[in-house]
Structure 1
Amino acid sequence: MLLSLIAVSAVLAAWAVSARRMERWRVTAPMVIVLAGVLIGLATSDRVAAGLNTEIAEHVAEIILAILLFVDATDVRGGLLGYEPKAALRILFIALPLSVAVALLCGLWLLPGSSWAVLLVIACIVVPIDFAPVSSILRDRRVPERVRNVLNVEAGYNDGIVSPVFIFALVLADQDTRADTPLQALGAAVPQAAKAIVVGLVIGALLAVAANAAQRRDWMTVQSKRLVLVAAPLLAFGLSLAVDGNGFVSAFVCGIAFKYLRHSDDIRRDLELVDDVGFLLAVGMWFAFGVTAVAILERGVPVGTVVFCLLALTVVRIVPVAIGMLGSRFSGHERLLVGGLGPRGTTTIVFGLLAFNVLDGHDETTVGLVVVLCVLGSVVMHGLAAPAAAHTYAARRGSSREAEHSDPGK
Structure 2
Amino acid sequence: MEHYLVYIAFAMLLYCMYSARIGAFGITMPMVSLAIGVFVGLGDSALDLEAASTFHHLAEVTLALLLFADATSLRRDTLKKIGQRTKRMLLLGLPFAIIIGALLNWLLLTDWPFWEVCLLAALLAPTDAALGQSIRSNTSIPQDFRDAMNAESGLNDGLALPFVIFFAGLAVSDAVPVLGDGSLVKLLVKEICIGAGVGLLGGFVIGKLRNHVIAQNLMDLELGQVAVLVLVGFIFFAAEHFEGNAFVAVFVAGLAYANTVNSTTLPARHFLEGDGQFLAMLSFLFIGVLFVPEALTYLSGVDLVVVILSLVFVRPVAIWLSLMGTKTTPNERLFYGWFGPRGLATALFAVFVAMDFEGIVMIHKIVAIAITAVLISAFAHGFSAKYAAQLFRFDEIERK
TM-score range, shorter chain: 0.7 to 0.9
2:71 maps to 73
Alignment root-mean-square deviation, CA: 3.0
Q: 1:357 aligns with which of 355, 365, 378?
A: 355
- Secondary structure of the corresponding residue to residue 25 of structure 1: coil
Alignment match, 1:219: 218
**Amino acid corresponding to residue 62 of structure 2 in structure 1:** I
8 Å CA contact retained: 2:129, 2:153: yes
In 1, distance between residues paired with 2:94 and 2:187?
A: 23
Cα distance, 1:131–1:192 mapped onto 2, change above 3 Å: closer
Greater alpha carbon shift after TM alignment, 278-287 vs 67-76:
67-76
Q: 8 Å contact 1:61–1:354 — kept in the other structure?
A: no
Letter in 2 for 1:225: G
Query: Percent identity at matched positions?
Result: 25
Could you say if the C-alpha distance between residues 122 and 260 of structure 1 is closer, same or farther in structure 2, counting changes exceeding 3 Å?
A: farther
CA distance in 2, matches of 1:278, 1:180: 41
Instruction: State the secondary structure of the residue aligned to 1:83.
Output: helix
Question: Helix, strand or coil: the match of 1:123?
Answer: helix
Task: State yes or no: 1:233 paired with 2:224.
Answer: no
1:44 aligns with 2:44: yes
Q: State whether residues 72 and 254 of structure 2, in contact with CA within 8 Å, keep that contact through their aligned partners in structure 1.
A: yes
Question: 1:57 deviation in Å?
Answer: 4.3
Q: Which residues in structure 2 correspond to 1:163-182 (within 5 Å)?
A: 163-174=161-172, 181=177
Q: Deviations over 1:175-209 (max 9, x none)?
A: 5xx99857667666654544433333332222111
**Which residues of 2 match residues 30-41 of structure 1 at below 5 A?**
30-41=30-41
Alignment of 1:10-409 (within 5 A): 10-47=10-47, 50-54=49-53, 56-76=54-74, 79=77, 81=79, 83-130=81-128, 132-133=130-131, 135-174=133-172, 181=177, 190-265=189-264, 269-360=267-358, 362-394=361-393, 397=396
Counterpart Cα distance in 1 of 2:355 and 2:371: 15
Distance 1:337 1:174 in 2: 37
Residue deviations 1:76-135 (CA, integer Å, cap 9, x gap): 356463633222222222222211211122222223444444333322321222253463
Note closer, same or farther for the CA distance 1:395–1:87 as it changes in structure 2 (3 Å cut).
closer
Contact 1:199/1:250, CA 8 A, preserved across alignment: yes
Moved more, 304-313 or 373-382: 373-382
Instruction: Render the CA deviation track for 1:149-169: whole Å, top value 9, x for unaligned.
Output: 322222222223223333333
Deviation at 1:264, TM superposition (A): 3.4
SS at match of 2:299: coil
Give 2:256's aligned amino acid: A
Structure scoring higher RCO (CA < 8 A, sep ≥ 6) equals: 2
Aligned length: 394
Shift of 1:214: 0.6
Residue pair 1:41, 1:295 contacting (<8 A) in 2 also: yes
Segment of structure 1 superposing worse, 186-195 or 256-265: 186-195
**Pair 1:171–1:275, CA change in 2 (3 A):** farther
TM-score by length of 2: 0.86
Unaligned runs of 5+ in 2: none
Counterparts of 1:86 and 1:245 in 2: how far apart (Å)?
Answer: 25
TM-score (norm 1): 0.84
Matching residue's letter, 1:305: D
Q: 1:407 is matched with which residue?
A: none
**Is 91-100 or 122-131 further displaced after alignment?**
122-131
- The one-character-per-residue Cα deviations of 1:319-363 (angstroms, maximum 9, x if unpaired) are 122222222222222222222222222222222222232345643
Q: SS at 1:150's partner residue?
A: helix
Aligned equivalents of 1:180 and 1:52: distance in 2?
Answer: 35
Q: 1:79 to 1:214 in 2, by over 3 A?
A: same
CA contact 2:116–2:167 (8 Å) conserved in 1: yes
Deviates more, 1:235-244 or 1:133-142: 133-142
Where do 5+ consecutive residues of structure 1 fail to align? 401-410
Residues in 2 aligned to 1:323 and 1:383: alpha-carbon distance in whole angstroms: 25
Kept after mapping to 2: 8 A contact 1:82/1:153:
no
- Separation of aligned partners in 2, 1:166 and 1:69: 19
